[in-house]
Structure 1
Amino acid sequence: MSEFQDLSTLIAQIAHAEDSEQVSQLNELIEAGLESGSVALILEAFPLEGRVRLWRGLPLELHIEVLTEARAEVRHSIIKELSETELKLTLAKLDNLSLIEWADSLPEEIINEALHLIEKDELELYDQANEYQDDELGRWAERKVVTLPFNISVEKAKVLMERYSYDAPQQIYLINKRKQFRGLVNYIDLLRAEPSERLRSIAVENVLTLNAKLTLAESVEALEHSSLSTMPVTDDEQLLIGEVDWHFALSTQREIYESRLMAGTGMDEGDDLFAPVVKSSQKRGVWLGINLMTAILASVTIGLFEEVIAQVVALAVLMPIVASMGGIAGSQTLTLMIRAMALNQITSGNRWALLKNEVGIGSINGLLWALIIGGLAGLWFQSSIIGATIALAIVVNIITAAMFGVLIPIALDKLKLDPALAGSVILTTVTDVVGFFAFLGTASLVML
């Protein structure tokens, strides 16, 4: 496009147009340079009927690309509306990477039909990708790369490039007879080199490779620190698997971020903005049920001290402060831990030091805010006992929150559970129960 336009502006522009004009407006934006990822986001902003109409009106060569860029539920919602003929025509155009992306979000019968319809070469690449786990780089590497023997001349290389009608690639990968990686050459350097030179003599020096067994998070970090826009992916024997580029890194990083953001509320990054009401209610209802169980646990703790609360109304007024201070302190530590774990910064060698550091921070903040809150509460209710009681509870709860903010994500990670998904719920329960117990337990000892 000639200049950047905010996506919300484009969505509003299309939404305010007549139905008959919406498709033509979207296609005009595509002709002006709107990329497929943005097209997918625009489709997601429309209810089902509108998004299907817009998708059908796209240029045929963009159908697969836009569906692949869309969220899983959005993709499924469009596919369910296709006729049998439309579905077969769509599935037949799938490439191996798109099929991998679709495989986890579509019914098995659709995937099986796609396996019968796609081209043989794409099916072979799909089978190769499935040798790796979902979180391993080898599953997502682009296998369609230009390769040449590492010891041939530049003149021979140019002949081979013309014979096989290769598009001008950014990089050419050099391999030996066993298809082991031996270096890479920038295409522009190939064009400038003398015909008699050998490819290995113009290869880029000190090229790092990514092992196909790396996790996606690890591979994104490697790409971030690389001077190359693409990096070769190899197996343990240095056989060339394919490549990944910075587009892959950005997309993966966004998915990791969205996954952690949504997981905190029990949702998935593939959820549809306009998902069916009943289906969404069921998914969210489960999380509300989990939250109810934790709330009941906190309420039971409060119920143990019903007698003292009934006699001293000030305790009921001050209880939310105890829970809130512990919750905030704990969420700060938990957020720090989740980010560090995502960056692979937490190891067995630094856990104890990190725990001591967070408990130290919690102790200082706990004492500081205990003095402030205790003083204010004492003045408010004209009772030094109430002030001292809430001060003690604040200290205990903030230190506990800091400690469990470190321990909970480590424990969940050991159990192969996502700390972003369950960490906040468990931590909130711990801080509520400990805070209420410390506050009301102390009050029951000194006031009855």
Structure 2
Amino acid sequence: MSEFQDLSIQIEQISHVEEQQQPHILNQLIEQGLESGSVALILEAFPIEQRVRLWRELPLEMHIEVLTDSRAEVRFSILDALSETELKLTLAKLDNLSLIEWADSLPDEIITEAISLLEKDELELYDQANEYDEEELGRWAERKVIAIPFNISVERARLLIEKYNYEQPTHIYLIDKNKCFRGMVDYNNVLRSEPNERIYKLILDNVTTLSAKLSLAEAVEAMERSSFSALPILDDRRLLVGEIDWKFALSTQREIYESRLMAGTGMDEGDDLFAPVVKSSQKRGVWLGINLLTAILASVTIGLFEDVIAQVVALAILMPIVGSMGGIAGSQTLTLIVRSMALNQVTASNRVALLKNELGIGAINGLLWAVIIGAMAGLWFQSPILGATIALAIIVNIITAALFGVLIPLVLDKFNLDPALAGSVILTTVTDVVGFFAFLGTASLVML
């Protein structure tokens, strides 16, 4: 049974008891090992009032973890329901990383309040994180790492490590007197080594260092290729900024996937399952409006050939085929290019070759399906001219779809726009307009 199946069962367990018993069931699951990320997903599955009640009854030490693991709107729905006293008590528990995670999804007044409640050390770490942009790895680095001099003995290293109040580490980072990174050692090796041995002799080989300016997607890719559970993050001067671990990489990868999945419909990965009706309708309404404009453009194109459609009714019957074939062909190319861009596989050196390859695929599929659809249409309506007309439109539209399926995401990316968000809308409009124009325009020339 998968983890997600388990989660659905746990949600059912909580839902099928009286509301006053629900916190008790949830806390029992937590005692059995349910982690904060799973708790966050469970809370999201409940309407806001029940969600807030369940969160209040969680163990105090899990309050911040669960909120940090929640989606942005879910987190705000809980914080917004708290009294002023409850909110201050909650914000006072924040550390720098949690506040960084929350900062872009909460009103300025709440963030200002949270900053004022940060301890001095946490505030310094928060300010350091804000030196980097949201998409840069340095902003999200775990700065609470153990860094010790590289030239001391193992015995001295153990004493220094004990002074840190962090959880038992997996790796220790070695730095020189200028705080520059010199290597990484396994904590277990430190415990097993002779006390008089120099710590730098335990440095691990083949450790990948990550630039603080690296994008999150590139950092996740580096973690996937690494055999270590954490990797060091360095700035331009090779000073140790912090680390990234596999848990953060996994969470980031999930967010990237969800954002691309939701973006195609104009929604955000942080959207709440039980978001207020008016707010959700406004957000989705904007996207529906954009689609209406593109549909009007396609309708205007059809309207230009009103006379020919009126005289040849078969054209109206066959038009959806032209639009549909171009749309699916374009979506295939667009999906491939967007995925390749997300994996940093598309570069300036291979764009032309990629375009030629997609055009070749479009030409072959265009010719193949043009023959099939043209023959079917010709036999159906007993008109070879009609069959040839739709065949030509299919060829033109599928090749156009391949061309713009490559060009649209590249152009959008150049202007720092998300290809997954706007690409499908633009591409659908292009294939509809080009396909209808080719089909109806050719028909007006040869059939009237």
Q: TM-score, normalised by structure 2?
A: 0.98
Match of 2:348 in 1: 348
Q: Percent identity?
A: 77
Q: Which amino acid aligns with 1:245?
A: D
Q: Residue 221 of structure 1 aligns to a residue in which SS?
A: helix
Q: CA deviation at 1:290?
A: 0.6
Deviation digits for residues 198-234 of structure 1 (CA, Å, limit 9, x no counterpart): 0001111232210000000000011111111100001
Q: Which amino acid aligns with 1:271?
A: D
Match of 1:258 in 2: 258
1:359 has 2:366 as partner? no
CA separation in 1, counterparts of 2:25 and 2:188? Answer: 38
Deviation digits for residues 359-416 of structure 1 (CA, Å, limit 9, x no counterpart): 1000000000000001011111111111111101000000000000001111111111
Match of 1:23 in 2: 23
**1:7-406 paired onto structure 2 within 5 Å:** 7-164=7-164, 167-406=167-406
Q: CA deviation at 1:163?
A: 4.1
Q: Residue 134 of structure 1 aligns to a residue in which SS?
A: coil
Q: CA deviation at 1:5?
A: 5.6
Q: Which amino acid aligns with 1:171?
A: H
| Alignment CA distance shift 1:189-1:63 (3 Å) | same
CA separation in 1, counterparts of 2:375 and 2:32? Answer: 64
Deviation digits for residues 45-81 of structure 1 (CA, Å, limit 9, x no counterpart): 0000010000001000000110011010111111010
Q: Which runs of 5+ in 1 are unaligned?
A: none
CA separation in 2, counterparts of 1:303 and 1:259? Answer: 37
Q: Residue 404 of structure 2 aligns to a residue in which SS?
A: helix
CA separation in 2, counterparts of 1:444 and 1:185? Answer: 75
CA separation in 1, counterparts of 2:123 and 2:60? Answer: 21
Q: CA deviation at 1:162?
A: 3.0
| Alignment CA distance shift 1:119-1:165 (3 Å) | closer
CA separation in 2, counterparts of 1:233 and 1:82? Answer: 37
**1:387-426 paired onto structure 2 within 5 Å:** 387-426=387-426
| Alignment CA distance shift 1:166-1:90 (3 Å) | closer
Deviation digits for residues 237-267 of structure 1 (CA, Å, limit 9, x no counterpart): 1100000011111100110111111111111
Q: CA deviation at 1:165?
A: 5.1
Match of 1:441 in 2: 441
Q: CA deviation at 1:184?
A: 1.2
Q: Which amino acid aligns with 1:38?
A: S
Q: Which amino acid aligns with 2:230?
A: T
Q: TM-score, normalised by structure 1?
A: 0.98
Quick check: 161-170 or 132-141, which moved more?
Answer: 161-170
Aligned residue pair count: 446
Q: CA deviation at 1:160?
A: 2.2
| Alignment CA distance shift 1:164-1:104 (3 Å) | closer
Paired residues of 2:146 and 2:164 also in contact (CA < 8 A): no
Q: Which amino acid aligns with 1:352?
A: V
CA separation in 2, counterparts of 1:60 and 1:257? Answer: 31
Q: Which amino acid aligns with 2:397?
A: N
Q: CA deviation at 1:118?
A: 1.6
CA separation in 2, counterparts of 1:4 and 1:191? Answer: 38
Q: CA deviation at 1:164?
A: 4.2
Q: Which amino acid aligns with 1:214?
A: L
CA separation in 2, counterparts of 1:163 and 1:282? Answer: 53
CA separation in 2, counterparts of 1:412 and 1:151? Answer: 50
CA separation in 1, counterparts of 2:135 and 2:55? Answer: 30
Q: CA deviation at 1:309?
A: 0.5
Q: Residue 241 of structure 2 aligns to a residue in which SS?
A: strand
Q: Residue 6 of structure 1 aligns to a residue in which SS?
A: helix
Q: Residue 404 of structure 1 aligns to a residue in which SS?
A: helix
| Alignment CA distance shift 1:97-1:178 (3 Å) | same
> What's the C-alpha RMSD, in Å, of the aligned pairs?
1.1
CA separation in 2, counterparts of 1:446 and 1:123? Answer: 74
| Alignment CA distance shift 1:447-1:5 (3 Å) | closer
Q: Residue 233 of structure 1 aligns to a residue in which SS?
A: strand
CA separation in 2, counterparts of 1:368 and 1:184? Answer: 58
| Alignment CA distance shift 1:441-1:113 (3 Å) | same
